[in-house]
Amino acid sequence: MKIPGDDDTLRQALEDVNLPNLLLVLATITGDDSWLGEEFAPAPIVAPEGSLFPDDSGGYSTSQRARILEAAVKIIGEVRAGHQDLGATPNLERFHRMLQFSTGEVIDQEMAAMLLEETRFVDRDEQWLPALEKLNRERSGEALHVVIIGAGMSGLGTAAKLKRAGIGFTILEKNAAVGGTWYENRYPDCGVDTPNHFYSYSFHRNAKWSSYFSKRDELYTYFEQCADEFGVREHIRFNCTVTEMCFDPARLCWDVTFEDQTGGTQHLQASAVVSAVGQLNRPSRPDIEGLDDFQGAMWHSARWQDEDLSGKRVGVIGTGCSCVQLLPKTAAQAAHTVVFQRTPHWVAPARDYYKPVEPGLLWALQYIPYYAEFHRARMILVFGDRSWPAVVADPDWQDQSVSVNEANHAMRSVLIEFIKEGLGAKQSYVEHCIPKFPVWGKRLIVDNGWYETLAREDVTLVPQGIDRVTATGIVSADGEHHDLDVLILATGFESNRLLSPMRVLGLGGQELSEVWGDAANAYKGTTVPGFPNLFCLYGPNTNIVHGGSIIYQIECQIHYVMQCLTVLAAGEGRALDVRSEVNSAYNESVQSLSAGLAWGHPSVDSWYKNKAGQVVNNSPFSLQKFWAVTHDFDESDYRLLSHGANE
């Protein structure tokens, strides 16, 4: 990496960097651990009220700060001039020590091991890449071919790894472009609630995110670039919708049937199928009487129509993440907005949600050696499992009705104050805005002006529920008719029936949708007994609620799948079928853990649960634990099917 500019450029950039992080950079370059000594120990991290970003600047005195910055200018300047090499990347023991030093907190060694891979100080691909490359060389001509369904973040990530391993693959994508959810969702202010320096592939960092929480267009552009930079675009068949796949036990492969852009039916044969269809790709149309009678314009938040709302009376059904994000923008345009709420959600204060990435940090992420690595680790520590203790139920906690432990209850109190403050003159709304389930029972929504928007004079909250829709509006449960020109359905997605409407036929012709019903389950969220060589990314019980990036979860699964592929590549005509008893034991544990978490609380009714109240979508694990659970493939968990050796 060439470092541009001179000492002044460097000095200017360093104004915006995190000093505890910078000390890790200096220690790595010089190999000198005196940079991690008592003298430079940072002050504890504190969370200023209302801010998303904790104050983790280190709390150094002016003279300490000057000393660190001058040393950094000198050391990095020497690297720029070619007089200093980059030093050795830290091993686990040193990295662990570094993280504890820079945060002033006790960090689990397993967490450090995970972050060592997330920073790519350790290349996780080494777990499977050498084996696959060797097998590919030995077996040229009879290689595996993988079909990936979907070119969203799971599909592209898998494709990148298959490409690296030299395994043949085809991606079938129903849309005309890549990006999945970030292609489809275009509602106003659509964006992430996890900082992008974490919400991006660990193996394809983007040093140029303009904001910490980027918006849809920038995310979509990132995935477009990934498709090109991974060199996988030529493998994608756009406008192709998979309708059916059927496992052939004689040939030990999948026959995949899909509809192409002409409406014609086509077939592909695959040694393995990776389902990368996501959990939130089918908009849910609410079952409300009269919905089809509405004569005004109506659309779902995930199928946004760019209509000018000025002067219009707009109704919005639903108060989940999508509604909270879009409402401040649409309400500012509309003449009047009516929000139809069934259940209030918890919304967290986030006054710096729109914070741009500081110019110096942008520079540091591109040019200061190791800075981006340590920054990613820090973002994961701050925005990942930090909230985990607050979601785990404490059996001794006195009031189990609305909270699950003391920290959870404390958060509840903070958020109730935030509601009161945000609603200003509309204090009559307060009782309707306080959820009756524990905080983190559903993913905590990052605020972008929700309560202030509800407090606007031209916005009305209807908490009574909906009786029916008419040609000209909505009748609420109290009998009032609300006249509307436009109706926005922010009603979420059909999330429980994973992989549907595809027809998936496994061993013995059994159909996956029947095997699962509305209780989808898979081993490590990925493999299903009786459906050999089918790998579900972002499958059952993999969604995260407490905090963190879904790309992280997906990457954990991809590495697990790549290890499975080393077994398939080791012989001709092989298939892996997860043992039914292994899957059952795993999922019993998933359900028992889920029951002890905020989102398993009986008061929570959400898209994560099925009709019986079982958690189908969410992971019961912290990020650290999910990494550990998916890290190592154990062949004894599977039946290995091979030609002639099985029915």
Binding site for ligand N01 (CB under 6 A): 192-193, 280, 286-288, 301, 317-323, 325, 342-343, 443, 446, 466, 490-492, 607
Q: Which is nearer to ligand N01, 135 or 190 (CB)?
A: 190
Q: In angstroms, give the least distance from the CB of 96 to ligand N01.
A: 31
Long-range contacts, 128-135 (Cβ 8 Å, 24+): 128/165, 128/559, 128/562, 128/563, 128/565, 128/566, 129/164, 129/165, 129/562, 131/566, 131/569, 132/165, 132/166, 132/167, 132/562, 132/565, 132/566, 132/569, 133/165, 133/166, 135/566, 135/569, 135/570
Q: In angstroms, give the least distance from the CB of 548 to ligand N01.
A: 11
Q: In angstroms, give the least distance from the CB of 278 to ligand N01.
A: 10
Q: Which is nearer to ligand N01, 309 or 317 (CB)?
A: 317
Q: In angstroms, give the least distance from the CB of 18 to ligand N01.
A: 24
Assigned token pair, 629: 């659970």
- Alpha-carbon span 636 to 378, nearest angstrom: 36
Q: Which is nearer to ligand N01, 373 or 447 (CB)?
A: 447
Q: In angstroms, give the least distance from the CB of 443 to ligand N01.
A: 5
Q: Which is nearer to ligand N01, 144 or 317 (CB)?
A: 317
- Alpha-carbon span 565 to 212, nearest angstrom: 36
Q: Where are the beta strands (DSSP E) in 346-485?
A: 347-348, 445-446, 459-462, 466-469, 473-476, 481-483
The DSSP secondary structure of 15-56, one letter per residue, reads TTS-HHHHHHHHHHHH--GGGGSGGGPPPPPB--TT-SS-B-
Q: Which is nearer to ligand N01, 90 or 315 (CB)?
A: 315
Nearest to 542 by CA among 528, 534, 552, 531: 552
| Local structure of 340: helix, strand or coil | strand
**Identity of the residue numbered 346:** W
Q: Which is nearer to ligand N01, 128 or 199 (CB)?
A: 199
CB-side exposure of 463: number of CA atoms within 13 Å? 12
Q: Which residues pair with 236 in a beta bridge?
A: 171
Q: In angstroms, give the least distance from the CB of 322 to ligand N01.
A: 3
Q: Which is nearer to ligand N01, 466 or 487 (CB)?
A: 466
Q: In angstroms, give the least distance from the CB of 479 to ligand N01.
A: 17
Assigned token pair, 99: 């993280």
Assigned token pair, 322: 């999508």
CB atoms within 10 A of CB 87: 18
Q: Which is nearer to ligand N01, 72 or 338 (CB)?
A: 338
Q: Which residues pair with 373 in a beta bridge?
A: none
* Residues with Cβ within 8 Å of residue 621, at least 6 apart in sequence: 593, 629
Report CA dihedral (372, 377, 381, 384) to the nearest 10 degrees.
Answer: 90
Q: In angstroms, give the least distance from the CB of 227 to ligand N01.
A: 22
Assigned token pair, 194: 């996890």
* Residues with Cβ within 8 Å of residue 595, at least 6 apart in sequence: none
Q: In angstroms, give the least distance from the CB of 36 to ligand N01.
A: 35
The separation between the first and the last C-alpha atoms of the chain, rounded to the nearest angstrom, is: 56
Q: Which is nearer to ligand N01, 46 or 477 (CB)?
A: 477
Q: Which is nearer to ligand N01, 218 or 637 (CB)?
A: 218
Tell me the CA distances in angstroms from 45 to 62, 103, 334, one per residue in order. Answer: 18, 7, 42
Q: In angstroms, give the least distance from the CB of 454 to ligand N01.
A: 14
CA 539 to chain centroid, in Å, comes to 13
Q: Which is nearer to ligand N01, 318 or 548 (CB)?
A: 318
Burial bucket for residue 602 (CB in 10 Å: 0-12, 13-18, 19+): exposed
Q: In angstroms, give the least distance from the CB of 343 to ligand N01.
A: 3
- Alpha-carbon span 525 to 629, nearest angstrom: 10
Q: In angstroms, give the least distance from the CB of 78 to ligand N01.
A: 42
Q: In angstroms, give the least distance from the CB of 158 to ligand N01.
A: 21
Q: In angstroms, give the least distance from the CB of 347 to ligand N01.
A: 11
Q: Which is nearer to ligand N01, 354 or 397 (CB)?
A: 354
| Local structure of 508: helix, strand or coil | helix
Nearest to 528 by CA among 574, 567, 568, 577: 577
Q: Which is nearer to ligand N01, 149 or 280 (CB)?
A: 280
The position carrying tokens 């990295």 is: 95
Q: Which is nearer to ligand N01, 116 or 323 (CB)?
A: 323
Q: Which is nearer to ligand N01, 60 or 437 (CB)?
A: 437
Tell me the CA distances in angstroms from 63 to 34, 59, 69, 103, one per residue in order. Answer: 17, 12, 10, 21
**Identity of the residue numbered 363:** W
Q: Which is nearer to ligand N01, 230 or 440 (CB)?
A: 440
Assigned token pair, 418: 């935030």
Q: In angstroms, give the least distance from the CB of 199 to ligand N01.
A: 9
CB atoms within 10 A of CB 466: 21
Q: In angstroms, give the least distance from the CB of 455 to ligand N01.
A: 19
CA gyration radius, the chain: 26
